[in-house]
Amino acid sequence: MTKSFATVVDIAQDIASGKTSATEVLEQHLQRINERESEINAFNLVTTEQARQTAAQVDADIKAGKKLGPLAGVPVALKDNMCTRGIETTCSSKILEGWKPPYDATVVTRLQQAGAVMIGKTNLDEFAMGSSTENSAFGPTKNPLDTSRVPGGSSGGSAAAVAAGFAAASLGSDTGGSIRQPASLCGLVGVKPTYGLVSRQGIVAFASSLDQVGPFTHTVADAALMMEVIGGHDPLDSTSLPQPMPSLSSVLEQGVKGMRIGRLADMPDGCEPEVLARMDAAYAALQSAGATIVDISLPSLSYCLTAYYLVAPAEASSNLARYDGVRYGMRVETGDLHSMYGATRAAGFGAEVKRRIMLGTYALSAGYFDAYYGKALKVRRLIANDFAAAYEKCDVILTPTSPTVAFPLGDKTSDPLTMYLCDIFTIPTNLAGHAAMSVPFGTGAHNLPVGVQVLAPALGEQTMFRVAAELERAS
């Protein structure tokens, strides 16, 4: 399992109480980056100087007796698809290499206001399209627990940074599992909040009806604290839900007595036996803590992959139309505007991004719209209906996060469809807009971590965190 590093909660307490300083904590993390980053490649950019300035400011504020934010002095890493004013934001794509955004994402501002120290921008599959972080234009990230294996993706750099002790916590984005799957493969807690609970202003858009931002942490309590800092209404995001962030830290000790836990009666094929064994152990642990296990079915589950891989590329093909060599990033000069667009996009985008733009454009094009995109939206309705029926019988649903533990680098890169199958358990939540999180729950094959996924209905975060905390106590 992961080497134990100090948690967000402990670091914040120790800095606030004067047991250590923000500068001291930062230097410990920078030291670990110096030791292992060349091997892991978690970061596109380490913001050493800015981080030292922020940490020094936190220490000065403590000395001056100022009121501190809940994350004062905590080193946090950001997925490199989150805008940071004046600091390079690339989405691990050549097309945005060197781009310095003119504003901060709302989640970045909220972390700053809470006193967090931004330590760097992490690697990802280009434009968050992938499940292994091998699609990055700047080279793959390695899993810190076994560097011959992938950390998962697309937020693989954010997961690896926390698992390697480079940052105490990080933020990722999750369109089809891009936080939960790498959390599972790296032995971390990873949260995909309810659609609209966390602002997406300043997050580079991939598929706008699916994208959400969430944290990676070592513990459930850390994830609760991070969520409380980044969540809640933002007038700058028109899809932001108009309610305040519920308290999560306060519910973690409430247990699961009387709760109904949904178990999939029709588990899809392809799960490793060790993963299924951990699922049985998870159900047993919750049962002995006073919950009831209820069998449920999601008849449309096996069709989610198709719905997702039509809806997400369709939205991406539209969102990525903005990379045309005019307003930001690179340009390939030609004599004519239209050939400049085509040449810039051909040189700037990698193979997987091109594939998804093509698939999405095709699914939306005249003559094919009804057969593909239109049908996919109907399947999306079916899965939402399945969940609604299931949640009549249970409060949360437990599934594996990933059918397998971390796989070797290069294992799934030759056939895009094999890679897409990694997302079978994580995609349905995004299609429905619900909440979900992955919690480490022991190990499977090769002694690598297995994550259990807790699914909850929209705005079911409090219930979801109670279950996650119980699983953590039992693991």
CA dihedral angle for residue 46, residue 49, residue 54, residue 55, rounded to 10 degrees? 90
Kindly write out the interface string for residues 284-323 of this chain, putting x where it contacts another protein by CB under 8 A and - elsewhere. Answer: ------------------xx-xxx-xx------x---x--
Provide, rounded to whole angstroms, the least separation between the CB of residue 284 and another protein. Answer: 28
Helix (H, G, I), strand (E, B) or coil at 250: helix
State the nearest-atom distance from the C-beta of 186 to another protein, in Å: 25
43-46 β-sheet, strand order = 43-46, 117-122, 75-79, 169-174, 212-217, 189-192, 435-443, 449-456, 396-400, 260-264, 292-296
Q: Which two tokens stand for residue 228?
A: 């409380």
Q: Which of 92, 132, 136, 178 is catalytic?
A: 178
Query: Whose Cβ is closer to another protein: residue 385's or residue 475's?
Result: 385
Q: Which two tokens stand for residue 295?
A: 């069998």
**Does position 377 bind another protein by CB under 8 A?**
yes
CA 157 from chain center: how many Å? 10
Choose between 141 and 319: whose C-beta lies nearer to another protein.
Answer: 319
Q: Which of 154, 155, 184, 240 is catalytic?
A: 154
Locate 449 and state its tokens: 């971590």
Minimal distance, residue 281 CB to another protein, in Å: 25
- Min dist CB 342 to another protein, Å, is 4
Stretch that binds another protein, among 69-77, 165-173, 371-379, 442-450 (CB under 8 A): 371-379
User: Nearest approach, Cβ of 105 to another protein (angstroms)?
Assistant: 14
Residue with tokens 């001056």: 64
In the three-class reduction of DSSP (H, G, I as helix; E, B as strand; rest coil), residue 315 is classed as helix
Determine the residue type at 256. Answer: V
**Residues between 401 and 430 that touch another protein (CB under 8 A):** 415-418, 421, 424
> Is there binding between residue 196 and another protein (CB under 8 A)?
yes
How many Cβ atoms are within 10 Å of 367's Cβ, its own excluded?
7
Residue whose CB is less far from another protein, 5 or 309:
309
| 192 catalytic per annotation | no
Query: Does 232 engage in binding with another protein (CB under 8 A)?
Result: no
Please indicate whether residue 66 is annotated as part of the active site: no
Going by their DSSP bridges, the two strands 292-296 and 260-264 should be labelled as parallel
With beta carbons less than 8 A apart as the criterion, state whether 33 and 43 touch: yes
Active site residue 154: yes
Burial readout 278-312 (b: 16 or more C-beta within 10 A, e: otherwise) = bbebbeebbeebebeeeebebebbebbbebbbbbb
At residue 298's C-alpha, the angle toward residues 297 and 302, to 5°, is 130
Number of residues that bind another protein (CB under 8 A): 76
450 vs 76: CA distance, rounded Å: 24
Residue 236 Cβ vs another protein, minimum distance, rounded to whole Å: 9
Which residue of 5, 43, 99, 391 would you call a contact of another protein, by CB under 8 A? 99
Taking CB under 8 A as the binding criterion, the range among 51-59, 123-131, 233-241, 258-266 that sits at the site for another protein is 233-241
Binding span for another protein by CB under 8 A among 34-42, 180-188, 253-261, 328-336: 328-336
Site string for another protein, 102-121 (x = CB under 8 A): xx------------------
Per-residue contact flags (x/-) with another protein for residues 249 to 278, judged by CB under 8 A: -------------------xxx--------
Cβ atoms of 160 and 144 within 8 Å: the answer is: yes
Q: Going residue by residue from 138 to 177, which x/- string records binding to another protein, judged by CB under 8 A?
A: ----------------------------------------
Using CA atoms, how far residue 293 sits from 141, 198, 271, 280, 297, in Å, is: 38, 31, 21, 11, 13
Among 369, 458, 474, 475, binds another protein (CB under 8 A): 458
Shortest Å distance, C-beta 211 to another protein: 11
Q: Which residues are catalytic?
A: 79, 154, 178
